[in-house]
Structure 1
Amino acid sequence: MNTMFTRGPSLPHRTVLALCLSILLILVDHRLDGFAAVKVYLNSLVSPIQYLASLPGQMLSASANRLVSHQQLVAENARLTLQAARMQEKLQRFELLKSENDRLRTLLGSPVRPDAQIMVAELMAVDNNPFSHQIVIDKGAIHGVYESQSVLDDKGIVGQIMEVGTTTSRVLLIADITHAIPLRIARNNVRLVASGSGQLDELFVEHVPHSADIQVGDELVSSGLGNVFPEGYPAAKITSIVRDESRPFAQVRARPMAQLDRLKYLLLLWPSDAPVQPVFDGQGES
């Protein structure tokens, strides 16, 4: 049975006809711009479809951007946190250096007799024996350190060298119970002897007669006797006096001028009659 749809040009003829019409429409649009209004309507019609088609991609892109931004913020925050920690650490080191520099300036400005040479030493260790007050410093025989040499800080007398190694030395503090130092009262030159009490903040002033002219607050300085500590260096300050007539002598206590519980930098003294001379390794000489 034949129908009307079976009649007409063949498929190749139809293809050629479609191509010809397409070329004709392209030429008309190019030369005469006859489809401008149609293209506007078509674009308006297709725009919502294009928007809907591009919406998933835009959403994925926005989500990816947010994720990247969040990751960048996290990384930037971590970097800034690390940078702040490093700056804080540097600031702490600068504060420490400033403090140590101030201490050294004070130390070098401490009273030293003109005929004495000095060298700055640093504390290395503290004796952990509770019945002994000794420290170790970083200067030894190669620097000219000798036994019984005087050791000071920026406040006053600390002690004397008791053992000398090649590069280190051991210092016996004036607060040690085995140590005694001849002193005099700066106010009136009354001569006394102070011995260690075993406490870093206290000395015993021995054999003080009840009639001695001594007062709380008197400053005690080295007398120069015994040929250990040069004369005139501050050593202690009288803190208490008990005159009990039932005892042969007054009970006198003094506080060391040196800060024995917080030593860091120390001064080694070489008086003019020292048995050896200092050997300086880049330090100044006074």
Structure 2
Amino acid sequence: MKPIFNRGPTLESRLLIVVVLSLGLLISDGLYGVFKPLRSLLTTLVSPVQYIASLPAVFLDASTDRIISQEQLITENEALIQQLVILQADNQRYQSLQAENEQLRKLLDAPIQTNLPKKVAELMAVDNNPYSLQVLINKGSINGVFNTQPVIDDQGVVGQIVDVAQTTSRVLLVSDLSHAIPVRILRNNLRLIANGSGELNLLNIKHVPHSADVAEGDILITSGLGNVFPEGYPVAVISQIKRDEGRPFAMVKATPLARLDRLRYLLLLGQQEMPLAPLSATENRVIKGDLNE
């Protein structure tokens, strides 16, 4: 009985034939370039397909580059904005430091006695008691601050220390109702007493006779009496004079020269060391007599 299907070459034979053909084609193309024109034609035909196939990758790469560039620009822009803000803040700080430096220079150039110890303090807080005009400064007993110590700014007398803690102190302003300071008129040396009025920028000059040589615009300076404020520091300027013959004294008001509503830096004046006065001949004889007894 004959088989229905004729059996062809075996699988091994087919593999051998394919290998031989392949080797022949490789050798002929390598030695003689038989398929070079065909390969060129096929490459030409396939190149549009390859270009179209590569377009997504090209677009993706271009988009990625643009996104990266945009992100870099955004990051750089944010960094530049931050640097600009920091520089602007530093510029404001430099302007503030420049203003503070000028204020300190004015403060140190105030008309102070050179033989008095000086200490710069900074305002910390303002007392919120409506019946007392006091401020808190950042210097205390560890800094050598003491009670009744005079306090000035770059314009004039501010007040005196009334309470001392370890690291802070309270300053009673010259315009406080309980404060009084001996003064004299710079123009004619007339001695007066400047009393606080309870209002920040107002002093009352009490017990001024109607005949006293006092005029608006006169500068009041410390007289040195009382052994609290050294002599010669500006205190106030007379701003108003009312002479009513029905009153025993004239009503005189003055405006403090110190900027009491804008205090920032203050100058604390130390005590002046007074040299001992030499003893007179009579005092020497008395002392010697006491010693002999």
Map residues 24-103 of structure 1 onto 2, 5 A cutoff: 24-103=24-103
Is the CA contact (8 Å cut-off) linking 1:208 and 1:251 kept in structure 2? Answer: yes
Secondary structure in 2 matching 1:183: strand
- What's the Cα RMSD here? 2.6
Q: Does 1:244 align with 2:250?
A: no
Unaligned stretches of 5+ residues in structure 2: 1-5, 275-293
Map residues 187-266 of structure 1 onto 2, 5 A cutoff: 187-266=187-266
Instruction: State the identity as a percent.
Output: 53
Is the CA contact (8 Å cut-off) linking 1:115 and 1:271 kept in structure 2? Answer: no
Distance 2:102 2:37 in 1: 88
Unaligned stretches of 5+ residues in structure 1: 1-5, 275-286
* Deviation (angstroms), 1:164: 2.0
Distance 2:221 2:50 in 1: 99
Q: Does 1:137 align with 2:140?
A: no
Change over 3 Å in CA distance of 1:140–1:213 after alignment to 2: same
Q: Does 1:268 align with 2:268?
A: yes
* Deviation (angstroms), 1:82: 2.9
Letter in 2 for 1:255: T
Find the counterpart in structure 2 of residue 115 from structure 1: 115
Find the counterpart in structure 1 of residue 280 from structure 2: none
Q: Which has the higher contact order (CA 8 A, sep 6+)?
A: 1
Is the CA contact (8 Å cut-off) linking 1:127 and 1:135 kept in structure 2? Answer: yes
Higher alpha-carbon deviation: 21-30 or 203-212: 21-30
* Deviation (angstroms), 1:12: 4.9
* Deviation (angstroms), 1:9: 6.3
* Deviation (angstroms), 1:221: 0.5
Higher alpha-carbon deviation: 211-220 or 18-27: 18-27
* Deviation (angstroms), 1:34: 4.3
Distance 1:227 1:161 in 2: 14
* Deviation (angstroms), 1:148: 1.4
Is the CA contact (8 Å cut-off) linking 1:184 and 1:191 kept in structure 2? Answer: yes
Distance 2:211 2:37 in 1: 127
Secondary structure in 1 matching 2:227: coil
Secondary structure in 2 matching 1:19: helix
Distance 1:254 1:213 in 2: 15
Distance 1:23 1:176 in 2: 117
Distance 2:93 2:122 in 1: 18
Find the counterpart in structure 2 of residue 128 from structure 1: 128
Letter in 2 for 1:46: V
* Deviation (angstroms), 1:144: 2.6
Distance 1:242 1:23 in 2: 131
TM-score (norm 1): 0.84
Find the counterpart in structure 1 of residue 284 from structure 2: none
Distance 1:203 1:21 in 2: 123
Change over 3 Å in CA distance of 1:22–1:162 after alignment to 2: same
TM-score (norm 2): 0.82
